Structure 1
């Protein structure tokens, strides 16, 4: 089987890095097309031996990109096209069907109750999404929560498949030597209590809550924010204004898999933390929280379908926190008071192994390719 993955961009983000990790475990020959922003993940994919093509799309309404994409799909003689993120799903599904590829799978990575990838779910966004969705074979939800949201959006239940995001358990396994090495590299003082926040630095992630929580914690508490984004300067200014700037570290975007980049990678940073806090109130999966569990960290979260979809006994060390800075400061204090616990992954983290996710996705691929053998008109829902 030969597959083409189409994604909106390849900057350092959860969906983009998940694609790179997935391609390392799929027993399929895969190429990748990025509509915009080749970014750091594009370089990583190329280093992995994956062919990456930058389509050079100038914006959401660059319709000239569609025939370019159709030609590329036809030239590649692909058995299946897999699209990721909103713009790539809209253009990619249509291009695949015009090019004659009827096995078309899309993954919905970032659907919330009121937004999709940060864009409001207006009537226009819903209509365009649903119109393009009907051109595909199946839509993959990264959690049962996202599957329910897709149904409420109007996607028929039989067209939805749940394939959770996956993590590399071995990479995130806690390593005491890596912890000490990373903490020294970050300049953390001996005995520092490190609260971690991982994700895009956007308003919806509510990392300002953690900065304000830090003002209510003893001076040996530090905040380690991993990620980049448009709110970085706002968060830096907030830390200065409330007097904790000297205890807040910003690492910028960090890779999930080794790629030769300077600075510690994500598994090293989770090893350096003592607790992971995720105050975002609307998540589609909660990948950072699952990776933290795999590193044996206590996890405090406002929204995490990946944890909420599992029985409590499978996610020992995870706890839902509602409220703002005061609630998070109190929860962080309670975690510390509970004493040290072994840095081992609970059973729930193993349910999200990337090898399990890749095997489940192969089942979806096989069904899509098999279903494409009977003819149906362009735009009709495959049987």
Structure 2
């Protein structure tokens, strides 16, 4: 069978979960010839993709209502004679599906990366956003959910279950293995004492991540506690002000947005906490588990969709400051073996499932009846285990 030509259309290629997930997937898709179009902001992930030999095109879209991007994208898809168009993130899904249809592409896949219970990509859900989403979704062939939780949310929204597939996010598991030398080096570089109790948080500095809860919780811990925040975003100034107000300005270490350095930073931590109450997957939590860290989280579909014994080092907690403080005070500072849950989310496995989906859709009937919504939940991903 000849390799399928697949065009990935994504809103931007800055450092973010969906963008990094795309970069991780492509090298493992050996039966696919991939190209990428960024509607806007090509960013550092575009450079990384090009360095790995993936063609990347910047469409130069000027905003959500830049309709001139639609004919440009349509022409690009038609000239490329792509077998599959795969869209990522809200804006790219809307424009990409329409353009693919206009260009005559029969197989159109979209991944829903960031659908929470009350927000999509960090923005509050509204009736208008939902209506527009559903109108665009009907132009595609299939919608991929990154977790069983997201699949159920999509079905609840009105997406036909026969059109939903579950292909979970994945990580490069060996890359995150705990490294004592990297721990020492990272702590020296960041000015963290060897014996400091380091609480870690990773993600965009956005309101929904609730890093202010972590700051206030660490401020209530003994003096040797430090908070290592990995990420960047519009909430940085407000979070710095919060740290000053609760007397923790010198106890918060801001690592900024990183990529290659992330495994070393996870090695430098003693416990990982996610205070976000609304997640679509919880990729940073899975990465922390791969680093052997004890994990405390408020919401994580990646773990909630699995039996609890799959991740013994992780505990679900309440999201108030006192609850986070109590959880941190009771953590035993020791590394854990990489749990079974992490192995289920290996990036090569996700890439294989996605490649098989492309081939099945491209070679089979389109928009016809399909197996039940949960087939992909159990087939291969959960090996028949019941979901909680």
Q: Counterparts in 2 of 1:15-94, with a 5 A limit? A: 15-27=18-30, 28-94=32-98
Q: In the TM superposition, what whole-angstrom CA distance separates every residue of 1:150-171 from its partner, at most 9, and x where no partner exists?
A: 0011100010000000000110
Q: Equivalences for 1:211-290 in 2 at 5 Å? A: 211-255=215-259, 258=260, 265-290=261-286
Is the CA contact 1:82–1:107 (under 8 Å) kept in the aligned structure 2? yes
Alignment match, 2:384: none
2:149 matched to which residue of 1?
Answer: 145
Pick one of 325, 330, 346 that aligns with 2:326: 330
State the partner residue of 1:364. Answer: 357
Kept in 1: contact 2:271–2:333 (CA 8 A): no
Counterpart pick for 1:297 among 288, 293, 296? 293
Secondary structure in structure 2 of the residue aligned to 1:4 = strand
Alignment-derived partner of residue 307 in structure 1 = 303
How many equivalent pairs are there?
Answer: 365
Alpha-carbon shift at residue 328 of structure 1 (Å) = 0.7
Q: Could you tell me how far apart the structure 1 residues matched to 2:108 and 2:356 are?
A: 14
- Deviations 1:343-382, CA, capped at 9 Å, x for gaps: 421111101000111111112111221136x7xxxxxx45
CA shift digits 1:247-287 (9 cap, x unpaired): 101111111xx4xxxxxx11111111111100000000000
- Structure 2 spans left out of the alignment, 5+ residues: 370-388
Tell me how far apart the structure 2 counterparts of residues 189 and 17 of structure 1 sit (CA, whole Å). 31
Normalising by structure 2, report the TM-score: 0.92
TM-score after normalising by structure 1 = 0.93
Distance 1:327 1:226 in 2: 22
Q: 1:352 and 2:356 equivalent?
A: no
The Cα shift of 1:339 comes to 4.9
Q: Is the 8 A contact 2:199 2:272 kept in 1?
A: yes
Separation of aligned partners in 1, 2:27 and 2:233: 27
Distance 1:68 1:172 in 2: 40
Matched residue of 1:219: which SS? Answer: coil
Residue by residue over 1:71-104, the C-alpha shift from the partner in whole angstroms, topping out at 9 and shown as x without a partner, is 1101111110100000000000110011011111
| 2:28 match: secondary structure | coil
Name the Cα RMSD after superposition.
Answer: 1.2
